Amino acid sequence: MNKKVFKLLGATALTLAFAANAMAQTRGGTLTAIIQPEPVILTSALNTAAPTGFFSANVFDGLVEYDNDFKLRPALAESWDVSKDSKTLTFHLRRGVKWHDGKPFTSADVKWTLENVWKKIHPRNQIIYGTVTGVDTPDDYTVIIRFSEPSLAVLSSLNSNGAQVLPKHLYEGTDILNNPYNNKPVGTGPFVFKEWSRGNYITLERNPDYWDKSKVGSKGVSKPYLDKIIFKVVPDAGARAAALEKGEAQYAPFSPVPLKDAERLAKLPGLKLETRGYDWISPWLFLDVNVDRPYFKDARVRQALAYAIDLNAFNKVVWYGFGKPAISPVVSTLKQFHTDDVPKYGYDPKKAEALLDEAGLKRGADGVRLRINLDYLPYGDDYKRSGEYIKQALKRVGIDVNVRAQDTPTYTKRVYGDRDYDLSVVWFAGFADPLVGVTRAYWSDSVGKNIPWSNGSGYRNAEADKLIEQAQSSASQAERVALFKKLQQRVQADLPSIPLLELHFFTVQAANLKDTVAGVDQIYSSLKNAWFDSAPKVANATQATASVTPQAAK
Amino acid sequence: MKLRNIVVRRLLQLVSVALGVTIINFFLLQLAPGDAAQVLAGEAGAATPEYMAALRAQFGLDQPLLVQFWKYILNLAHFNLGYSFRHGMPVAQLIGERVPATLLLMGASILFAVMAGATLGAIAAYRAGRIADVVISTLALVFFATPLFWIGLMLVVVFSVWLDWLPVGGMFTIEAGYTGWKYILDVARHLVLPAVTLGLFYMAVYTRLMRATMVEVRRQDFVRTAVAKGARPPRVLFAHVLRNALLPLVTMLGVQVSSIIGGAVLVETVFSWPGLGRLAFEALFQRDFNLLLGILLCSSIVVIVVNWVVDFVYTRLDPRIRFA
């Protein structure tokens, strides 16, 4: 048999196997996932850091889930209505849901969490729930939220990450931030917290009483399918790659290995790369320009910076294609809000030089117009290389850039507190509604208050502020869309920060781990749909020879 | 000197050194820009002034520096290392959880370094100038000069990924849920690579030290006398040469034990070993100063105690030295 036929047969067999397996969810197995960095706390209602969100969605349900089109799907809330004036939101909660300690889940839990956590502590939600004037619970399964002004953005943030309900009976009357249950969470979700060995691992076990009893598959098993999830802390990127390659871990989210290793791992037969499940985060990488610097006050200089950077090459060289050149801070996957009708700055170094000349920044005798510093987000090599690429690009138009390194607290204090910087490379999560994640980069109210991930450029524009405020309290989604489009045009003309890439994060996972992506917010949702096509490889001496290692398969 | 005087003097020394270390560390750490609340807010990916204020109040960072310092010292006086707000746990408990893993790694790597280093050094000394000596000395030089983390990663690539003999990292196979002997064996398998990585540098140091001292001691008159009076070669080696060559090794051992937390940071990171070095390293980046101060204090006490032990061992090895 020649090779080609063999390959074809293989492909057919694979397709057939896939078709047969599509309905053959099987129960059982232990999933070992890599969590990095180690979470600080295990409840994302109190800390929205990525590892906490990734972990705690398995213990806590949201009021709703999102599907692959940003549409709402019932979870703890079976249905919901928005009043005509958009000022009242009613949730009808699912009956018979129990906390992991056996107490019933009721509307009192939602009311308490909203009033004490979402409104007061949740780092992101205050812009959404700040205008709540009252919460009514006419019965155990109805929650009515009244707003003084419409707050339509709330619908974009009702999953386990945006609206994590905490058990009132364990939290009421305690010091919430110091409550011991923050680190041994009791939720309603598909997996039950078992143990956290610090610096080592966290284990979850299947919740046998999970509310989602819908039988799926030919074998009629119910969710969740996995018996156990172990979240391993693996601090070194090289060790993460080795653990995945060897099959000691089968699931690792948030681009766990350096981009240059990703391609190699993706080619191994036992592994695959998954880029879906991150759209809800809407991440975009950008170059913040400190507009308080005298030489950056002129918009023409900022535009020249944009013209000088070839984003296609930047994407290929620095980010190995794990991105898409951005034209707006609202990423293109947010189809509803994104507009491409904005001023664009395609790669054009001649135009950049002309603009710089016009702005009075002429080349000196040594060919240098300007000497500045660039600080990059200290989250790894990719950001450092981004800074170095920009240094090279700007050198060509006569701007001499010195790339500076520091640790995270030093970086955030420099940019958001002291404002002692020229350019900074950073990414923000835009989230499903620009009000939650995008507008913070442009709203003048947060300049220089030492709040990490706020308005770092120092942009203060009355029109932009007004658009943001209107979008916050508008009762009509169509009007909000129009306002956000106007905002994109405004900030892309002024360019206080230069969008570079829409980032594509990836998950490395075992090829036989199925149905890991159920919606745009998968990375902050539970793995209740995931199942192993065959028993996972247990990595130890006695079984290593029996199971197929990626090397053997190769 | 009376025993009581010795004990009192040593304890006073311990307390004053520990206090000095604490004061210096406390104020030195304040020089690092940013605080724990900023780190937490940074990691959260979003923040509001209210959230920051709540965190600062929770951590006690809204108090004046001197008040914070006074509270810390008061806690210490009650043998309380304070509370790590970031981890939501008392510092003593956090350290206690990590100490066994670090002690195991430390013990194994020191044992490996001393045994292998002394043996190789002795062989090299007896074969000075010959092929065995050249090979051992070259190897020692290579391990002496290669960075730890690189050796660690290479060992992982060779023994875990290629040969598939040993696990990539971690302390035991969590999935398997072993108990009893199986568990001990499992931990031992996980221990091999990190212990060897951490021990290789010091093994090289001991090899070179042992070789140099033994070559020198063998030339001494008392060795010639021992040989001349007809002592058997093993007795000459162990009773006369080795015992006299051990003093520099013990000095170096004291240094290794004291500096091992520094080296453990890298090895614990590369091998996902849940030890104290990584905890300290992360505490620094997280500006979790209560935790970091606690670890630094504990390790300074370890250094002092190890020095006592070294002093004591000297007196056993060389009766001319007195313990005071």
User: What gap in Å lies between CA A37 and CA A464, rounded to an integer?
Assistant: 36
pLDDT digits (tens, 9 = 90+) for A361-409: 999 889 999 999 999 998 888 899 999 999 999 999 999 999 999 988 8
B241, B218 contact by CB (below 8 A): yes
Do A248 and B168 make contact, defined as CB atoms within 8 angstroms?
Answer: yes
Q: Is the pLDDT of residue A20 over 50?
A: no
B53 in A contact zone (CB under 8 Å): no
Candidates A263, A315, A224, A296; CA nearest to A457 is A296
A488, A123 contact by CB (below 8 A): no
Taking CB atoms and an 8 Å cutoff, what residues of chain B touch A454? 47
Q: Is the pLDDT of residue B225 over 50?
A: yes
For residue B275, what is the nearest residue in chain A, using CA coordinates?
A: A199
Q: Omega of the bond prior to A499 within 30 degrees of 0, cis?
A: no
Mean pLDDT for A205-219 is 79
Q: What is the pLDDT of residue A271?
A: 93
Cβ neighbours of residue B226 under 8 Å, at least 6 residues apart?
B235, B236, B240
Q: Is the pLDDT of residue A21 over 60?
A: no
Q: What is the token pair recorded at A59? A: 């213990």
Shortest alpha-carbon distance between residue A450 and chain B (Å): 8
Q: What is the pLDDT of residue A181?
A: 93
Taking CB atoms and an 8 Å cutoff, what residues of chain A touch B45? 48-50, 123-124, 428-429, 453
pLDDT digits (tens, 9 = 90+) for B195-224: 888 888 888 988 988 888 888 888 888 888
pLDDT digits (tens, 9 = 90+) for A126-157: 788 888 999 999 999 999 999 998 888 888 88
Going by pLDDT thresholds of 50, 70 and 90, the confidence category of residue B269 is confident
B186 in A contact zone (CB under 8 Å): yes
pLDDT digits (tens, 9 = 90+) for B28-37: 888 888 788 8
A134 half-sphere exposure, CB direction, 13 A CA radius: 4
pLDDT digits (tens, 9 = 90+) for B12-58: 988 898 889 889 988 888 888 878 888 887 777 777 777 888 888 87
Mean pLDDT for B69-88 is 84
Q: Is the pLDDT of residue A232 over 60?
A: yes
Q: What is the token pair recorded at A529? A: 């749909």
The H-assigned helical ranges of A438-511 are 462-473, 477-494
Buried b (16+ CB within 10 A) or exposed e, B25-55: bbeeeeeebbbbbbbbbbbbbbbbeebbebb
Of B38, B85, B174, the CB nearest to A413: B38
Q: Is the pLDDT of residue A94 over 90?
A: yes
Going by pLDDT thresholds of 50, 70 and 90, the confidence category of residue B262 is low
B199 in A contact zone (CB under 8 Å): no
User: What gap in Å lies between CA B73 and CA B23, rounded to an integer?
Assistant: 9
Mean pLDDT for A158-182 is 90
Do B49 and A539 make contact, defined as CB atoms within 8 angstroms?
Answer: no
User: What gap in Å lies between CA B236 and CA A444, rounded to an integer?
Assistant: 83
Candidates A410, A407, A408, A435; CA nearest to A420 is A410
pLDDT digits (tens, 9 = 90+) for A290-303: 999 999 999 999 99
Q: What is the pLDDT of residue A215?
A: 66
Q: What is the pLDDT of residue A217?
A: 60
Q: Is the pLDDT of residue B79 over 80?
A: yes
Q: What is the pLDDT of residue B21?
A: 87
Mean pLDDT for B132-142 is 88
Mean pLDDT for B268-290 is 86
pLDDT digits (tens, 9 = 90+) for A308-331: 999 999 999 999 999 999 999 999
**When comparing pLDDT for B164 and B100, which is higher?**
B100
Q: What is the pLDDT of residue A508?
A: 94
Report phi then psi at A228, rounded to 5: -155, 145
**Taking all residues of chain A, what is their mean pLDDT, rounded to a whole number?**
87
B19 half-sphere exposure, CB direction, 13 A CA radius: 10
The strands making up A191-197's β-sheet, listed across from edge to edge, are: A191-197, A201-206, A228-233, A30-35, A251-252, A507-510, A271-274
Going by pLDDT thresholds of 50, 70 and 90, the confidence category of residue B1 is low
**Taking all residues of chain B, what is their mean pLDDT, rounded to a whole number?**
84
**For testing the chain A interface, which of B29, B31, B38, B89 should be mutated: the one with the most A CBs within 10 Å?**
B38
Taking CB atoms and an 8 Å cutoff, what residues of chain A touch B286? 40
**For testing the chain B interface, which of A194, A198, A232, A547 should be mutated: the one with the most B CBs within 10 Å?**
A198
Do B33 and A413 make contact, defined as CB atoms within 8 angstroms?
Answer: yes
ipTM here: 0.80
Q: What is the token pair recorded at A472? A: 């916050």
Shortest alpha-carbon distance between residue A202 and chain B (Å): 10
